[in-house]
């Protein structure tokens, strides 16, 4: 949830966790996901990025073989040994608003458990090589500006985006068998909502939180994803 996300604690008993909340994570693991991101909130009173119970469940009971990355400034302790593998955004990370300038928890002085560092490095590198990133990565920062700003609005990309959006729609109730729509029985269709008439998102425009990244015809670029 977004409300009070930096301090809220989600309280969940084991039965509810295993029957309701963990099955989607298990499904993602079974599908071969390479990474998970831990969030800002607490779970049972413990920051999710340093929660040994749930990080252990993820790594050791759900069969996850990838790595866990923190959301931006969601790391509040040196939690590498608890199961967090990567603190983000790296340089300048740590508690948001901390002095001086977001002190980092994953630094050379704090990461003193060598075995935990080795495990995290192995998890991250294993995913990189499983995805063949060394051979397929198009550029390496800071030499990526031209690649990131390339116009990829080809007919093929537009078709893929349209197909993905259509396949992502979930019908909860087909009351009165109104779907599928038949041309002979429909006189007009109302498309309602700000996004239905919004201008296209400009990937070359202002950054997140400063421009219109969340108001385009397709909601684009919001959050750490």
Structure-token pair, residue 26: 């298990």
Note the Cα 37 to chain centre separation in Å.
Answer: 6
Is the Cβ–Cβ distance between 201 and 48 less than 8 Å? no
What amino acid positions are annotated as catalytic residues?
71
- Spell out the SS3 assignment of the chain: CCCCCCCCEECCCHHHHHHHHHHHHHHHHHCCCCEEEECCCEECCEEHHHCHHHHHHHHHHCCCCCEEEECCCCCCCCCHHHCCCECCCCCCCCCCCCCCCCCCCCCCCCCCCHHHHHHHHHHHHHHHHHCCHHHHCCCCCCCCHHHHCCCCCCHHHHHHHHHHHHHHCCCCCCHHHCCCCCCCCCCCCCCCCHHHHCCCCCCCCCCCCCCCCCCCCCCCCCCCC
């Amino acid at each position: 949830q977004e409300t009070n996300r930096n301090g809220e604690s989600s309280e969940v008993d084991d039965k509810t966790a295993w029957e309701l909340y963990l099955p989607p994570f298990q499904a993602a693991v079974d599908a071969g996901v390479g990474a998970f991101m831990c969030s800002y909130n607490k779970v049972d009173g413990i920051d999710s990025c340093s929660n040994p119970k749930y990080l252990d469940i993820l790594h050791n009971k759900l069969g996850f073989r990838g790595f866990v990355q923190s959301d931006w400034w969601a790391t509040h302790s040196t939690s590498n040994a608890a199961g967090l593998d990567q603190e983000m955004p790296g340089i300048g990370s740590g508690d948001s608003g901390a002095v001086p300038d977001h002190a980092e928890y994953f630094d050379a002085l704090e990461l003193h458990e060598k075995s935990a560092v080795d495990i995290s490095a192995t998890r991250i590198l294993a995913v990189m090589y499983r995805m063949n990133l060394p051979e397929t990565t198009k550029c390496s920062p800071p030499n990526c500006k031209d690649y990131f700003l390339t116009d990829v609005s080809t007919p093929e990309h537009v078709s893929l985006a349209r197909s993905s959006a259509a396949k992502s729609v979930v019908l909860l109730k087909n009351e009165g068998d109104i779907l599928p729509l038949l041309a002979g029985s429909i006189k007009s269709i109302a498309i309602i909502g700000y996004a239905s008439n919004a201008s296209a998102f400009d990937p070359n425009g202002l950054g997140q939180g400063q421009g219109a990244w969340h108001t385009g015809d397709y909601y684009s670029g919001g959050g750490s994803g």
